[in-house]
Structure 1
Amino acid sequence: MISLIFIIIWFGLAGILSGFTGLSLWFIPLWLIIGYIVAWISMVLLLVIMIPIGKMMKVDNKFKHYFIRSIARFISIFVLRLNIKITGKNKLPKKGGYVIYANHKSYADPFILYQIVNRPTGMAAKKGIYKLPIVRSWMPLFGCIQIDRENNREAAKAILKGIEQIKQGMIMGIFPEGGIKDRDDEKMVSIKAGAYKLATKAEAPIVPVTMIGATEVKHRAPFRSTKIKVIIHDPITKEDYEGLSTVEVGEKVAELINQTVKNGK
């Protein structure tokens, strides 16, 4: 919504200036290119300005999460050129915390994930992401947890923090393959059983999500759009996975996602 308003205003100003000054219509595309650059600079500045404000807000503050979803949507549309079609959104639990588990095939995947839900949502991210300027300041502010695979103790602390947030009603998103293992295969090719402790320890529903088309992003962005199909599956409740090990839960989720990828729907 924020990016759309910006574009309408910017395009409107271009038309007004062209009309009043008698400039050629070629001025409009030039204005749009400048607008794209200004939008990027404005977004970065806004993120920096919002950091101290975000620190004063609760981790599940609705405005803060709306702001992050708007940034994710801007990047999805105007940078990555993603054309996202979501099916099964009505299957998402309306209340309470739950965990989304999805296949992971590109760096666009987190931005896709944020198009799915409209409630406060954090993510489990690898340590390397926290080295990025601005990003490392923002991620803890909206409930993200840092998974340090080289330090089991710190990883366990992060999981406990995530579990507590889920119990408080937040949503967590995680890519349980433990990183991008194969950029050319849509299917889950690895299972990190520990990732499923986020849901099982919190006794929360597991929502498997299949993303189809993400392997094409690296070949098409930013000059060509990429069609992304997102399928939200029926939640796997505590009663469904009770008595299963995290390995068995992981295999169940992977089988469902991989079968959907195979079927292409």
Structure 2
Amino acid sequence: MSIYSVGRWICRSYFRLFFKVEVIGASRIPDEGGLLLCCNHFSNYDPPFVGSFFPRKVRFMAKEELFRFKPLQSLMMAVGAFPVRRGAGDKQALKVGLKLLKEGETLGIFPEGTRSKDGQIGKGLSGVGFFALRSDATVVPCAIVGKYRFFRKVRFVIGEPVPMEELKERKASAEEATEVIMKAIRKLHEQNQMS
């Protein structure tokens, strides 16, 4: 059993024990082919939460600061994460991401680039649009709804793929593609609010 599988089992058990987890839309995910998973981000819990309940193994792009502490670096590498320099147009990270998508893997990105401080979904960075336009990957919007409060519900919603064909045909900018993806995430988040 891989470190990813063990970590996923531990994290999933933790979330199921301490939160009322509801997953919507998991059956929409194909078993094969590159996937670009795009999700809102407001907590440090988000990456393990998404990795625990998304149907396929997720390779996360993570801020390089997390890789500076050796023990954490080893763990991050073991679960398939790779570093990105935020706000610097990291060409190496873009190259790695495109390679993973081409190889049929799932690339997980939080397009806002950092956690939302007020719970609102902010503006996405152009990197996610770059991946969507430069690859043949299926773009999957996701939304985490609810706060991680013990024994309260947290909902993980996996949406319908965002069509990219028209944007590719007219050579849209990465910024425009990112905004289309962010609109899909916001819509999922709004439609799945809990009373």
- TM-score class normalised by the smaller sequence: 0.7 to 0.9
Give the aligned partner of residue 31 of structure 2: 94
1:143 to 70, 80, 90: 80
Match of 2:160 among 234, 237, 241: 234
Aligned positions of 1:151-190 closer than 5 A: 151-152=88-89, 155-182=90-117, 184-185=118-119, 187-190=120-123
CA gap 1:150/1:188 in 2 versus in 1, 3 angstroms: closer
**What is aligned with 1:47?**
none
Task: Find the aligned partners of 1:225 and 1:240 in 2 and give their Cα distance.
Answer: 43
CA contact (8 A) 2:132 2:177 kept: no
Shift of 1:72: 2.4
Matching residue within 110, 125, 130 for 1:192: 125
Q: Mean alpha-carbon deviation: is it higher for 136-145 or for 101-110?
A: 136-145
* Cα drift, residue 64 of structure 1: 4.1
* Preserved contact between residue 133 and residue 177 of structure 2 (Cα < 8 Å): no
Deviation of 1:177 (Å): 0.2
The one-letter code matched in structure 1 to 2:94 is I
Q: CA deviation at 1:133?
A: 4.8
Residue ranges of structure 1 left out of the alignment (5+ in a row) = 1-61
Q: Secondary structure at the match of 1:100?
A: strand
Q: Normalised by the size of structure 2, how large is the TM-score?
A: 0.86
Counterpart in the other structure of 2:21: 84
Q: Secondary structure of 1:169's match?
A: coil
Q: What TM-score, normalized by structure 1, do the two folds share? A: 0.65
What amino acid does structure 1 have at the position aligned with 2:8? R
C-alpha RMSD of the superposition: 2.2
Cα gap change, 1:199/1:229 in structure 2, threshold over 3 Å: closer, same or farther? Answer: same
% identity of equivalent residues:
24
Higher helix share: 1
For residue 251 of structure 1, the aligned residue among 158, 179, 185 is 179
Task: Name which of structure 1's ranges 142-151 and 201-210 shifts more when overlaid on structure 2.
Answer: 142-151
Runs ≥4 residues deviating over 4 A: none
SS at match of 1:125: strand
| Bigger CA radius of gyration | 1
Unmatched segments (≥5 aa) in structure 2: none
Partner of 2:138: 205
Task: Give the AA of the match of 2:38.
Answer: Y
Higher relative contact order (CA 8 A, sep 6+): 2
How far is 1:97 from its partner?
Answer: 1.3
- More strand by proportion, 1 or 2? 2
The letter of the residue matching 1:171 is T
Instruction: Report the 3-state secondary structure (helix = DSSP H, G, I; strand = E; otherwise coil) of the residue aligned with 1:124.
Output: strand
Structure 1 contact 177–191 (Cα < 8 Å) conserved: yes
